[in-house]
């Protein structure tokens, strides 16, 4: 027979873990729906109070996202990586989606870029600084806005704005690591 890595935790711990995962998914879905509903109320209010309500929903969902980044960042990577994988298949059947193959290639490359740039957030040892927190929240908002724009180049531009924010955060992280290594390896000056 084959060897499988079996979960050695007691069944009750496995069940608790499963409920935690489902709970995280439901909370993330609720935040996403709140953000998107707020955006729709801002975009097309039927009544005067809906514009203000839309902004309240958007701001509250962004604040919740920003305060709970450690809670959902790994799931964000998983969601984006799955989307990147699926979009790769879309390149070969672009005509089924009534979009050009070029558009699907750009979607696929953009999604893979976001997955690569957000992978570092999956590490439990990763220390999230303010710029990291801002970049992943911006990226998440851009992904949600892309769903509202639909499959067009304007939505793709918004999606890639999220990639730019993640790239900026990654560059700042690399520079700070380089500076730390440089300062630790420099010989100490003695008087």
Residue 150 domain flag: yes
49 with 116, same domain: the answer is: no
80 with 63, same domain: the answer is: no
Section 19-29 average pLDDT:
87
Predicted pLDDT of residue 187: 58
118 with 141, same domain: the answer is: yes
128 with 34, same domain: the answer is: no
61 with 101, same domain: the answer is: no
Which ranges of 93-129 would DSSP assign to H, the alpha helix? 101-118
Q: What is the DSSP string of 12-66?
A: HHHHHHHHHHHHHHHHHHHHHHHHHHHHHHHHS-SSHHHHHHHHHHHHHHHHHHH
Which residues constitute the domain of residue 38? 10-67
Section 148-154 average pLDDT:
85
> What percent of the chain has pLDDT above 70?
93
124 with 83, same domain: the answer is: yes
101 with 28, same domain: the answer is: no
């Amino acid at each position: 027979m084959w060897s499988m890595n079996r979960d050695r935790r007691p069944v009750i711990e496995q069940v608790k873990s499963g409920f935690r995962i489902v709970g995280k998914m439901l909370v993330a879905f609720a935040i996403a729906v709140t953000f998107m509903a707020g955006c729709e109320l801002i975009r097309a209010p039927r009544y005067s109070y809906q514009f203000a309500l839309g902004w309240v929903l958007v701001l509250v969902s962004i604040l919740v996202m920003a305060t709970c980044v450690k809670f959902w960042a790994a799931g964000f990577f998983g969601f984006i990586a799955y989307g990147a994988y699926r979009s790769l298949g879309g390149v070969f059947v672009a005509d089924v989606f009534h979009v050009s193959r070029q558009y699907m290639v750009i979607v696929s490359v953009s999604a893979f870029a976001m997955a690569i740039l957000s992978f570092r957030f999956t590490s439990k040892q990763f220390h999230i600084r303010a710029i990291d927190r801002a970049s992943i929240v911006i990226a998440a908002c851009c992904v949600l806005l892309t769903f509202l724009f639909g499959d067009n180049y304007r939505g793709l531009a918004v999606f890639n704005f999220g990639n730019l924010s993640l790239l900026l955060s990654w560059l700042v992280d690399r520079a700070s690591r380089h500076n730390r290594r440089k300062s630790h390896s420099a010989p100490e000056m003695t008087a």
